Structure 1
């Protein structure tokens, strides 16, 4: 199996032109061998049959008259044996090397090697010859009767020819003649060589033409392959560039979110440290003011009713500013995992509004990046603010779960037919549009659905930082 595996490996590594040359060479060589063998075999069969018929005529002409006594006897007379022996010493010996005469029962009545006379050697060739058929072929001389023939060291053509009774078609014996086949063997070898040459001469132009066509096709395929490879490299470079641009855009988006959170926190802190402090002092001063005495000549003072009105307006403004600053400033989120961040948003809402929120938060123990942690907090904060503001906090519920690299947060309420705006919580107008932008910045989705009754806010975000992968 290892040589076959090696051949397959070499074949796969070869170019199209090399594969064609290898396949064409094998195909042409096999075709030439088959065609040469087929033609030479047919020619050999035809020539051998002609040689056999010629030999049969020769045997019948020279030997036939000396074996007529076999029509009535099963042995040859000594006189005829001598004549046959003498015949082989004449010019006939140049072609005929061995003569054997067989009876129908497979017994030899004459043989050049007289030691075999009287022996029986049945053969299919004898049966065919006694049936009147002439046959001939190159003999491989591997039978027991061919000891003498093997010692001659020359290729021999074995010919079987029937002997007929004079004037009839009755076969009285069969002659087996071994002719020298050196000349015929050389002619057959020459025929095979010529046939192979003709096949090669015819095939060579076709091979050359096919080679030129395949070489041109291979060059075209190679050029297209190189162009395609360049296109793939360019596409890969563009993809890498687009990926880098995407990463930079995500990083810029996250930086903007972080900057926005910092800005909101700074605004909330400034509101708390500035206007809220001043209004707190103003409220305190107003509460200390006394009504003016009607008999006094001092500057007129603000009356008690006016003082009460100013105090109420100041308290209302202070409450609004405090609510704004609470909504803008985030609590400390650093070091919290996802579950702890979501629970902190719920607990802060409960403390601020005095309402109850049901929670179903899964085992979200991973630590999100700071921008994602802030987004998770804002989703729950905004969802619960809406539930409290529009549904008076009826049926507030927060659930969260994580799977397949995503976290899904659902905030819903049961709704309220008459839900007045609560004095404890004021809407800032920065809610859902800003929340949409936050979620989209993380390649997430935000959906608002109306239930019967109530409203559901569903947000889905990746657990990781989009700029990081």
Structure 2
């Protein structure tokens, strides 16, 4: 005989109702303040340490898990206890009730004799100590026997006996809110009801349903003790887990905090070194600019001294020699001519040298005017032509940069005249995205890639090396693009 237990517990309804209420509250207009409150809580917890945040989150999650597991295990224990009690009670009561209902297979009624026998059975001490009341249901929902005589031959809905009519045992704990349970409710004691199918001897056909209410005090106490044990075990396990996790996370939090402090100290040290390096770089740039300015002043003063000193003396020598030359009797004319020629050559060389070392006044000139000036002077001195291509250049530039550009263009044009006979001389200047680019090009025979460093005789090209040093001292970039086929291009790039 297959027997399946169907348990309906009030706890499930208790859990379902708050859940539904919570869902309704989520869609209610009052959810907006709750969101702001949760945001406030999040802002507060974000200021806590990682280990504290983890423990709070873990406690919430594990607590919810503990409640779920404890509730699930408690329900399973209650279901199992009711199952066991229902199975035992059903076997017990079937043995008592089935002999009295056999006559229902023919008349579908209980005889007066059977009713009296059942009433005497209910007066038994052993049975009365456990059983509060008995009901026998007909298949159409009519109660044909009951301890409470007021509901005998009354018809009720067959929902609660439907499963029992199919041959299964149905049990429920404390569900006494139906109309036919008034007698049981007046006892004010915990009861659980069992619906057991009553079968016909021989055929096994269900001819009635026996319902009986059993004292549940012992069962309730047993279920309560089991629940307490379950909650104690689950709580102890969660507490142990939280403790272990706290120590592990706390240790990791200390390591992370120590690494953060170390990293912050290293970043501060790096920032300090970066600021120190920047200050040193500014000092170097200032010193380089000062050196360049002093160097230009020194060269200018040297040129002036050469012009005012030796050149004047040589001029005086030539004048005196001219005076001596007028007296043919006193000095040999050939000797005088040789002295005059040597003095003239010396004077020309000193003047050329002083003109090369002297710079025009550049303070009031823009870069465009400065480039026009250096090209004009080169063309006048050499008698060659220079193509000048200028984009829009900055109107204001520092004096050291002007001096550097002037010397760069002057030296490269001199090299173009010396080594390329002034063929294809051109200057191109552009300014884009804060970068000033000056390039000087010629179309001469070209030069080898290592010609800047060593000549055939092994002597360094001091002019080009000096230009490199001059450009790089101002933070610029000096490049040469030599070619063995035709022409050479020299470039200077500055970031303004």
SS of match in other structure, 1:72: helix
Deviates most, 322-331 or 150-159 = 150-159
- Give 1:49 shift: 0.6
Does residue 331 of structure 1 match 2:364? no
Partner in structure 2 of residue 34 of structure 1: 68
Distance of aligned partners of 1:75 and 1:391 in 2 relative to their CA distance in 1, 3 Å threshold: same
Decide whether the 8 Å contact of 2:437 with 2:494 is kept in 1.
Answer: yes
- Give 1:394 shift: 1.4
- Give 1:288 shift: 4.7
Partner in structure 2 of residue 466 of structure 1: none
1:372-421 deviations in Å (ceiling 9; x for gaps): 2221222211111111222221111001222343222110111169xxxx
- Give 1:436 shift: 1.0
Give the alignment partner of residue 331 of structure 2, picking from 291, 297, 301. Answer: 301
Partner in structure 1 of residue 260 of structure 2: 225
Segments of 5+ residues of structure 2 without an aligned counterpart are: 1-34, 447-460
Partner in structure 1 of residue 313 of structure 2: 278
1:51-107 deviations in Å (ceiling 9; x for gaps): 112321343244444433322223444665566567667755665455443333444
Decide whether the 8 Å contact of 1:291 with 1:302 is kept in 2.
Answer: no
- Give 1:47 shift: 0.6
RMSD (Å), alpha carbons:
3.2
Deviates most, 240-249 or 92-101 = 92-101
Give the alignment partner of residue 119 of structure 1, picking from 155, 173, 176. Answer: 155
SS of match in other structure, 1:401: strand
1:337-366 deviations in Å (ceiling 9; x for gaps): 433333332233223333221111211125
Q: Distance in 2 between matches of 1:130 and 1:164?
A: 10
SS of match in other structure, 2:103: helix
Q: Distance in 1 between matches of 2:321 and 2:185?
A: 148
Where do 1:83-232 residues align within 5 Å?
95-97=130-132, 99-110=134-145, 112=148, 114-115=150-151, 117-123=153-159, 126-138=161-173, 140=175, 155-166=190-201, 169-232=204-267
Partner in structure 2 of residue 60 of structure 1: 94
Q: Distance in 2 between matches of 1:3 and 1:129?
A: 53
Decide whether the 8 Å contact of 1:48 with 1:136 is kept in 2.
Answer: yes
Decide whether the 8 Å contact of 1:113 with 1:148 is kept in 2.
Answer: no
Give the alignment partner of residue 18 of structure 1, picking from 52, 63, 74. Answer: 52
Deviates most, 103-112 or 188-197 = 103-112
Partner in structure 2 of residue 360 of structure 1: 389
Distance of aligned partners of 1:109 and 1:338 in 2 relative to their CA distance in 1, 3 Å threshold: farther
Q: Distance in 1 between matches of 2:172 and 2:115?
A: 26
Distance of aligned partners of 1:8 and 1:168 in 2 relative to their CA distance in 1, 3 Å threshold: same
Q: Distance in 1 between matches of 2:465 and 2:392?
A: 29
Q: Distance in 1 between matches of 2:218 and 2:234?
A: 24
Partner in structure 1 of residue 281 of structure 2: 246
1:298-342 deviations in Å (ceiling 9; x for gaps): xx2352x44443333223222222222222222122143433333
Partner in structure 2 of residue 71 of structure 1: 105
1:119-159 deviations in Å (ceiling 9; x for gaps): 35233x63432333223133555667667767776654232
Decide whether the 8 Å contact of 1:102 with 1:173 is kept in 2.
Answer: yes
Decide whether the 8 Å contact of 2:55 with 2:242 is kept in 1.
Answer: no
TM-score, with structure 2 as normaliser:
0.78
Partner in structure 2 of residue 433 of structure 1: 465
Q: Distance in 2 between matches of 1:367 and 1:293?
A: 62
SS of match in other structure, 1:431: helix
Q: Distance in 1 between matches of 2:178 and 2:353?
A: 122
Aligned length: 445
Give the alignment partner of residue 373 of structure 1, picking from 376, 379, 402. Answer: 402
Q: Distance in 1 between matches of 2:213 and 2:359?
A: 120
Q: Distance in 1 between matches of 2:462 and 2:353?
A: 11
Does residue 443 of structure 1 match 2:472? no
Partner in structure 2 of residue 297 of structure 1: none
Distance of aligned partners of 1:314 and 1:195 in 2 relative to their CA distance in 1, 3 Å threshold: same
Decide whether the 8 Å contact of 1:339 with 1:361 is kept in 2.
Answer: yes
Partner in structure 1 of residue 350 of structure 2: 321
Q: Distance in 1 between matches of 2:370 and 2:283?
A: 27
Give the alignment partner of residue 78 of structure 2, picking from 37, 44, 50. Answer: 44
Decide whether the 8 Å contact of 1:392 with 1:416 is kept in 2.
Answer: no
1:266-299 deviations in Å (ceiling 9; x for gaps): 11122222222333343344445443344xxxxx
Segments of 5+ residues of structure 1 without an aligned counterpart are: 295-299, 418-428, 464-469
Decide whether the 8 Å contact of 1:442 with 1:462 is kept in 2.
Answer: no
TM-score, with structure 1 as normaliser:
0.82
Give the alignment partner of residue 293 of structure 2, picking from 246, 252, 258. Answer: 258
Deviates most, 356-365 or 81-90 = 81-90
Does residue 460 of structure 1 match 2:493? yes
Q: Distance in 2 between matches of 1:364 and 1:81?
A: 124
Q: Distance in 2 between matches of 1:336 and 1:89?
A: 132
Q: Distance in 2 between matches of 1:185 and 1:345?
A: 113
